[in-house]
Amino acid sequence: MLRILKKIPAGIMIIPLLLGAIINTCCPQVLLIGSYTTATFSNAGAATALGIQLVCLGSRLKFKELPSVGKRGGIILLSKLLVGLLTVWIIGLGMGLKGIWGISLLAIVCAISNTNGSIYLSLMALYGEEKDAAAVPIITINNGPFFALLILGISGLAELSWVAVLAALLPIVVGMVLGNSSEEIRKFLDVGVVLLLPFIGFSLGAGINLKSIVKGGTSGIILALIVLLFGTGITMLADKWIARRPGYAGLAASATGANAVAVPSIIATIDPSWQMYVESATVQVAAAAVITAFIIPLATRLYVKRSLL
């Protein structure tokens, strides 16, 4: 079974993710029976599993490597900020809040500025270097409403808090302290990085409803294409030209996270002028999250494979 999973691009994470999505779509009550089952296999377990993985990942990182890790993660993070700002300036100034092709500016900003940290971390654990994977807390500062609020805040539409920054960085800092204090502890925690991949994949899939693709309709598919073409293009170019890296990390950071689905409603509570776009934006972002969750791992696997030729 493990041999089969390894033959599928990012299969050790994607196959459990697909299984989780199918179960959540067809019979979600199975995952909500309570106790350890819900805590382990429902979407509620994703954050815990990822947090533990970050501690294990942090143990790999030596203090002397911090500058290079910060550079790799920071460049990708800033490229996502640039993508969001360009979206606001180009589409917002040209078409207004209503956006383009039936996709509101709100939906585009929420989807294109977000990174699926679980997918990025899993792909870097499989194909990248330790420094690439260790940069995940920096890159995933754009998770949730933080970056969308920052982008719209620059436009005068939102306020933001820095608590999310500390929350993203703390687990890996704990892992770094433990790993640097003892080589024995470092080796003990190291196995957790790959071991947790299928659990993270399944719990992440348990938060995805495959019907979102249908509900999002053509506009949801178009939004996914915007993220894949425009967003991926800029992050990969930044990774290659500025960070002087192969570009696979920029590609892996291009999937929209499932947490982005809740962002439109959060922004609407800050500025009610967005409220009329919340319903359509929510299903469109959900569709983009599902589509990019499957395409980005495949694309990253193919890109890495071609780079090695």
**Domains, the chain, ranges and CATH?**
8-307 (1.20.1530.20)
The angle at the Cα of 50, spanning 49 to 51, to the nearest 5 degrees, equals: 90
Task: Tell me the per-residue pLDDT of 4-14, one tens digit each, with 9 for 90 and over.
Answer: 665 555 566 66
Q: Which amino acid is at 12?
A: I
Q: What average pLDDT does the chain have? A: 77
pLDDT higher than 60, residue 111: yes
Please give the DSSP secondary-structure letter assigned to residue 100. B
Please name the helix (run of DSSP H) or strand (run of DSSP E) that holds residue 93, with its range, or none.
Answer: helix 93-95
Q: Which amino acid is at 9?
A: P
Sorting pLDDT into bands at 50, 70 and 90, what band is 49? confident
Are 97 and 273 contacting, i.e. CB atoms less than 8 angstroms apart?
A: yes
Task: Tell me the per-residue pLDDT of 21-32, one tens digit each, with 9 for 90 and over.
Answer: 888 888 888 888
218-to-77, 137, 151, 231, 278 alpha-carbon distances in Å: 29, 33, 26, 19, 17
CA distance 72 to 69: 5
Are 114 and 258 contacting, i.e. CB atoms less than 8 angstroms apart?
A: no
Tell me the average pLDDT across 255-278. Answer: 74
Strand partners, 103: 100
Q: What is the distance of C-alpha 6 from the center of its chain?
A: 22
CA distance 209 to 240: 34
Q: Which residue has better confidence, 194 or 173?
A: 173
pLDDT higher than 60, residue 169: yes
* Per-residue pLDDT at 282: 75
CA distance 175 to 144: 23
